[in-house]
Structure formats: C-alpha cells, structure tokens
Structure 1
Amino acid sequence: MAFRSAVITFPGSNCDRDMAVALEQVSGTPAIRVWHGDADLPDGLDFIALPGGFSYGDYLRSGAMAARSPIMQAVIEAAGRGVPVLGVCNGFQVLTEAGLLPGALMRNASQNFVCRTVPLKVENNRSLFTSGYKAGQTVHIPVAHHDGNYFADEATLDRLEGEGRVAFRYAEPVNGSVRDIAGVLNEAGNVLGMMPHPERAIEPAHGGSDGRALFESALKGLVEA
C-alpha cells in the first residue's frame, strides 16, 4: 500500500522541503506538496504535515494568518475524519490558532531565538506518533524558534495531563513553556503539535536520528490499522 502524505506550504514556510524529504525517506513514497491557497486536499491522504517556518512573517501572531488560509478548512475536516496531522514549530502554532489543539505559543521567556538540539522526555508512547518510543525515554531533537513558549490555563493543562495528551516534555529549560510541555495531542490522538523538529533528526548525518521513530510510528500505525 502506497503511503500518501501531504506537506502544506505557506508563504514563509522554510522547513517544507525538510519535511517532504523526511516523509519520503521513511515511507519510500514522495510527499505531495500542497499550496496554502488551494481549497482542497488530494484524495486518499494518509498523513498531513504542517511544517516549520515563519508563515506570513509571523505577522499579528505566529500562525494566526496561516490558520485562515483556504487549505486549513480542508485540513480541519480531514483531522475530524481521523487523518493524522502533524504540526511542527510554526505548524504547531498554526494548529493552535486553527483550534485543532488547545493553548497558545508565546514569545520565548528569554526573548531570544533558541536554536539547538534539546533533550525531550517521551511522556506518552501510546499514540500513533510515539509508539516507536519507550515511555520516559529521553530523545534529542533540534529546536529553532522564537515563539515556542507553550501556554494554557491550569484547567486545560490538568485535562491534558490527565488524558495523557502531553506527548513530549522538555527535559531541561528551553523556552519557558508551562510544565515544560514540548508537544501535545488532540483528544482523538490523531493530531500532534510539537515545537522540536523531528524531520531534522532522521539520519546520523543530521547529528542524530531520534526523530525517525516518530514518522515510523505513524507509518506502522496506519499500515496496521
């Protein structure tokens, strides 16, 4: 069965090619590139990725304008049907702005751009995206963001924790995110938003391959479904 994935490109995306290359390397099938101004997604998609970058130059709020792009209505509908959706960095910001994930990404507490490889703790290894990891495992994934400070009110945070929807947590201070949250899942478990870049850690030439298991987990889960 061919794995049909799509990578959405917004004006200002700069990690869309990285994401497409990662998906092809792991699945063996080229990702379909979709422009944000399209109204429809290709039929029969197994996976949708919203990549990192600086959509619309982070004007107003990071991801706010991209979340209103024509293609996002189709992404929201696909997510509602259970299609896996991964948002990385700016893609995570877009998912929160579009209402697919709770919370918001604010300016880093240091007010500085953070660009380095950071340790992450795998909090939930029972999701479509994380089954290839061990619970509590520490992995190392690059970050590159200025607005990665995750925030949500206490009630929302308690609900995320109680429902096992915190996928990854920073194992050291990175950007001021509440409870060190680095990645969250939606209630159905088919939408993941995370600030670190797994697509930049899929082979040793990248300096590490800890991100590869995320894509392999999704592929395996879809094949077995």
Structure 2
Amino acid sequence: MRVGVVTFPGSLDDRDAARAVRAVGAEAVSLWHGDRDLHGVDAVILPGGFSYGDYLRCGAIARFAPVMEVLVPSAQAGLPVLGICNGFQVLCESHLLPGALIRNDHRKFSCVDQTLRVENATTAWTSQYAAGQEIVVPLKNGEGGFVADEDTLDRLEGEGRVVFRYVGDNPNGSYRAIAGVTNERGNVVGLMPHPEHAVEPGFGPTTDGLALFESILMQTVSA
C-alpha cells in the first residue's frame, strides 16, 4: 500500500507521519504542495505544522495549493484522507469536513498527553479501534478549538460523525469536546491530536496511535 504524505511550506510533522506509515508496513510517498498529481497513492495524509505560516487563518492558504486541486475531488470520490492538526484545519478550509478550528479558548498553546475516546470505529482510519475505547496521544496546538453551528453539531452527533472526543478537561474549548470528525462517507477524517507521535515504544506516551495507520492498511488489504 502507498500512502502519500503532503508537505506544505511550514509542515513539520510530515516525516513523523511518514514514519508512522512505514511502521505498519506501508510505503510512504512524499507529495509536494506544488504537485498536481497524487502519483497513484492509495491514501493521503495531511500532516501537522504551520502551512504557509498560518497566515490569514490556519489552512486558509493551503486549501488553494495545487495538490489540493487533485486531492479534493479524489477525496470526494472515496480516496481515504487523514488530516492531523494543521491537516484537519486544511480539510475544514477545503470543505471536505464541516466546522472550523479557532484559537484555544484559554489563548495559550497546549502541549499535553491527551486522553481521547473513540466514538466511531467504522471509518477508514479507525476500524482497528473499538467504539468507546480510550487512547492517549499527544496534543499540541494553539488554534485547536473545533467550532460549528448547533445544527451542524447536532447533525454530526446524530449521524455518528464525531470520531474522537476529549476525555477529562477540554484542552482547547472545542464544542462538545469534539477532537475529530469524519465526512458522510467515512473516508475523510480529521483530528487535532497527533497519533503519529504515539506509534513506537519509547517515543511518545503510548503506542495508541498505531491503530489509526493499521486501519487504513487493513481496509486496503480487505478491499
């Protein structure tokens, strides 16, 4: 399986995402923000960082990158896409996912080992978890508060599209403690915490993030 990892100017977790892909035995394929070709990959990860310096809004410029011109229609057609932290912001700005990410309600950068509850274990990226399972992965953001209008939040809840939820203290003021969501089809997932920093013993608080990358591998194998 070949998983593309996009690098934007300002990406800083692209190598970590590629390392997580390799940890489950898949091939990590580097994709540049200026590419207009996904090079035949089976899935794509938009990594964390500060694409284009977070100017205007986080992810607001990245949504217009040439690579997004091919990624958006591919995702709409079913290509599995994962957005982590800044990648989540890019997916929301690109309207592949609903809602928006705004500055943390306490106005400070958060960097903690965060407990999450898996709310939806049926997406392309969460099938190796169990619904209700609690995991611990790092969280590091200054603009990680997930917001949406009440109708959108109710629809996400009602359709089972909340994928991850913060457990314990809400670290950034996200509405309804939402840490990650999916599209209607379940192939596009965005989350603010960093599973790619929890895939190997001794490097991160746990290895709880590994199942996210195993999930996409298993989906492709079964397909």
TM-score range, shorter chain: over 0.9
* Contact 2:122–2:186 (8 Å) recurs in 1: no
Q: 2:22 aligns with which of 21, 24, 39?
A: 24
Query: How big is the shift at 1:134?
Result: 1.4
Runs of 4 or more consecutive aligned structure 1 residues displaced over 6 Å after TM superposition = none
Give percent identity, aligned residues only: 56
Q: CA shift at 1:87, angstroms?
A: 0.3
Shift of 1:30: 3.0
Question: SS state of the match for residue 27, structure 2?
Answer: coil
Q: AA paired with 2:28?
A: A
Q: Encode CA deviations 1:138-158: one digit per residue, 9 max, x unaligned.
A: 100101100000000000001
Give 1:203's match in structure 2, choosing from 200, 203, 212.
200
What does residue 7 of structure 1 align with?
A: 5
Task: Find 2:180's aligned residue among 183, 191, 203.
Answer: 183
Q: Report the Cα distance in structure 2 between the residues aligned to 1:111 and 1:163, rounded to whole angstroms.
A: 31
TM-score if structure 2 supplies the norm length? 0.97
1:78 to 70, 74, 82: 74
- Let me know the Cα RMSD of the aligned residues: 0.8
CA deviations over 1:80-137 (Å, ceiling 9, x no partner): 2211000000000000001100000000001000011100011111222111111111
Structure 1 regions of 5+ residues with no counterpart? none
Q: Which moved more, 1:131-140 or 1:9-18?
A: 131-140
1:38 aligned residue: 35
Aligned length: 221
Deviations 1:7-60 (A, max 9, x none): 00000000000001110111x2431101101112102x2110000000111100
Alignment of 1:1-225 (within 5 A): 3-26=1-24, 28-43=25-40, 45-172=41-168, 173-206=170-203, 207-225=205-223
